[in-house]
Amino acid sequence: MSRAMQDWDLVVTQLIDHAAREHGSREHVTRWADGSETRASWASVRRDALRMVQALRALGIRRGERIATLAMNHARHLVTWYGAAGAGGVLHTINPRLFDEQLEYIANHAEDRVLIYDAAFQPIIDRLRSKWTTIEHYICFDSGAHAPSFEDWIGAFDGDATWEAVDERDPCMLCYTSGTTGNPKGVIYEHRSTMLHALSGIQRHCFNFDAQSVMLPVVPMFHAASWGLPWGGAATGVKFVYSCVNDAAVLCDLMNREGVTHSAGVPTVWLAMFQHCDATGRELPRLKQATIGGSAAPRFMIERLMRQGIRVAHAWGMTETSPIGTVGAPTHDWDSKSFEEQVDVVQMQGRPIFGVELRTVDLDDMTTELPRDGVSSGALQIRGPWVIKRYFKADEDAANAEGWFDTGDVGIIHPDGTLQLTDRTKDVIKSGGEWISSVELENAAMGHPDVAEAAAVGIYHPKWDERPVLFVVRKEGAALVADDVIEHLKPLVAKWWLPDAVEFVDAIPHTATGKISKKDLRDQFSDYRLEA
Ligand code: ADP
């Protein structure tokens, strides 16, 4: 029997075709590092992507080969997402904040053939060019001083071309995790996985897009596929407002001037925005939805945004999950909850978006499935069509035979399916056989008005195996002492969770993606000893 429905491959060029056809004149704004601005549209992005397809063909780039970018957020970067995938290639977005050894490793490991970069990163190119063994062509997004400029490169072609015919299970994108231990690992996204993730991500409970949405993505295009925004945005015809600098004053100005309704970023972005608003008295009257993810959104942040009438979507995910796994959005009984209870819900990491499944397993044996009872805490596993099966070039699968991928996170699943992350497997503190959540300690400490940042790590203890030590950065000018922090924590955590010591430090080390680096902190304090 012939099929009843038509063939319609889930390939990402469908997204840009749709955006250009149905939302062609919807514009995108880019504010460049030098303060200048350019405007594009979904129609121009498609046309330029097709010119890039021609330009890649002229360079002899073949199906499946990697085209890398080293760039901030701008509309030309958006063009390369569709141009690379449309040529049948694989877009490899490199994180410019990685260390040189990692940058060297990943471009060689990916066997990138072309690198398209922002002029601001010319020093990286100069340092690493001789070490990158596979890159043959360098193109610069915003200057022609050291390499052909992107505009000139694609400008030689007319865009009268067709997308490369690919299979929906072909790869279209490659992202590396930042690799807090060992070398970064490559995660390949396929056309089909990308499309399914985009379609689920644009729903109301997640990014909540419609054709009126104006989105300023602060999450970089080089981090975890920019949470899928360049793909999902095309499906709904969103207007993108991009900034190459992440300065809160610039972002606030752009948001208000361009009528930004949606934004997305890691918690630190919102912290900087609050500080700017407090110092200047400015507000974000047009903002309707803030998506926060990448690390836990602190309670005061959620509360402040929600009090301003801004919907907060607190999302959890990882590079290996394309990246969205769960989103904290209103539940069916939302309207019957008090404001405080609503904040409680959003503070957790939310429920799986359609397409992925979650479970927790016992931390000791890593196999026994735990009940969804709101108390049992275990290793978080996930499976679904946009969850990794195998890392790029790896010999073995990263997921087990049933598809469960171990996230390295520790969490509790509540009876209604809400995920509450409590820690990373490597960071939980094991004291006398019981687990202490380092993240909960940190969050509680960060609620103190004089604490700028806090990080809890388990330090060897002769009697208890490990005990928590809290490292704290004081807010400027604050005269905070250890006892103040302990007193603040007492009503917030179990007595046996209270840190054995509070140490004040000038700064806490961060990873290339801006998260607290417990590994570096542990290395820094490897000689630290607690008394029995
Ligand atoms: P990188 O390590 O390169 O920053 P990822 O973005 O893949 O890469 O990091 C994923 C990890 O970030 C998750 O496994 C989790 O530990 C953490 N994370 C992401 N979102 C949240 C969230 N909403 N709350 C707490 N932790 C989060």
Per-residue HEC secondary structure of 379-425 comes to EEEEECCCCCCCCCCCCCCCECCCCCEEEEEEEEECCCCCEEEEEEC
Tell me the CA–centroid distance for residue 230 and ligand 1, in Å. 20
Tally: H helices and E strands in the chain: 15, 24
Buried b (16+ CB within 10 A) or exposed e, 227-247: bbbbbbbbbbbbbbbbbbeee
Give the whole-number percent of the chain exceeding pLDDT 90.
82
From the list 4, 141, 10, the residue with the least C-alpha distance to 79 is 141
Other beta carbons less than 10 A from residue 60's beta carbon? 10
Task: Report the pLDDT averaged over residues 26-35.
Answer: 96
Active site residue 177: yes
- Classify domain 356-424 by CATH architecture: Roll (2.30)
Residue 532 reports pLDDT greater than 80: no
Ligand 1: nearest atom to the Cα of 224 = 6
Same fold, 13-336 and 429-524: no
Q: Is 176 in the pocket of ligand 1 (CB under 6 A)?
A: no
Q: Which residue is associated with the tokens 């995790």?
A: 177
**What pLDDT is stored for residue 226 in this prediction?**
96
Q: Average pLDDT for residues 436-448, to the nearest whole number?
A: 90
* Tokens linked to 354: 């359609």
- Taking the centre of ligand 1 as the mean of its atom positions, its distance from the CA of residue 387, in whole angstroms, is 14
Segment 91-108, tens digit of pLDDT: 999 999 888 999 999 999
Query: Parallel, antiparallel, or unpaired: how do β-strands 324-328 and 311-317 relate?
Result: antiparallel
List the alpha helices (DSSP H) in 156-217.
Answer: 191-201
Given a cut of 90, whether residue 531 has pLDDT beyond it is no
Residue 172 is predicted with a pLDDT of 98
Residue 181 has pLDDT above 80, yes or no: no
Query: What does the pLDDT read at residue 204?
Result: 83
CB 349 near ligand 1, within 6 Å: yes
Among this protein's residues, is 8 annotated catalytic?
A: no
| Residue whose CA is at the smallest distance from ligand 1 atom 27 | 295
Residue 295 Cβ < 6 Å to ligand 1 = yes
Does 419 sit in the ligand 1 pocket, CB within 6 Å?
no
Under the banding of pLDDT at 50, 70 and 90, the label for residue 180 is low
Please identify which of the residues 177, 236, 319, 407 carries the catalytic annotation. Answer: 177
pLDDT of residue 530: 87
Average pLDDT of the chain, as a whole number: 94
Q: Class assignment of domain 429-524?
A: alpha beta
pLDDT for residue 183 = 82
Confidence grade of residue 296 (pLDDT, cut at 50, 70, 90): confident
Decide yes or no: CATH 3.40.50.12780 for domain 13-336.
yes
H-type helices in 120-266, by residue range?
122-128, 150-155, 191-201, 229-236, 248-258
Which of the residue ranges 3-17, 172-186, 270-284 would you say has the lowest mean pLDDT?
172-186
366-417 pLDDT per residue, tens: 999 999 999 999 999 999 999 999 999 999 999 999 999 999 999 999 999 9
Residue 95 or residue 330, greater confidence: 95
pLDDT at 510: 85
Asked if 435 is an active-site residue, the reply is yes
Domain ranges of the chain: 13-336, 356-424, 429-524
For a ligand 1 pocket test, name from 98, 409, 517 the mutation site with the most ligand atoms within 8 angstroms of its C-beta: 409
- Is 320 marked active-site? yes
Contact 188, 173 (CB under 8 A): yes
Please compute the mean of the pLDDT values over residues 435-443 and round it to a whole number.
90
Closest residue by Cα to atom 10, ligand 1, is: 318
**Which residues, 6+ apart, have CB-to-CB distance to 280 below 8 Å?**
249, 252
Distance, first Cα to last Cα, the chain:
75
Q: Ligand 1, atom 21: nearest CA belongs to which residue?
A: 295
- Nearest atom within ligand 1 for CA of residue 176: 3
Enter the tokens of residue 470. Answer: 């809290």
- Note the pLDDT tens digit of each residue in 463-513: 899 999 999 999 989 999 999 999 999 999 999 999 999 999 999 998 777
Q: What is the DSSP letter of 463?
A: T
pTM for this model (two decimals): 0.92
Q: Is 425 in the pocket of ligand 1 (CB under 6 A)?
A: no
Instruction: Give the pLDDT confidence score for residue 295 in this predicted structure.
Output: 86
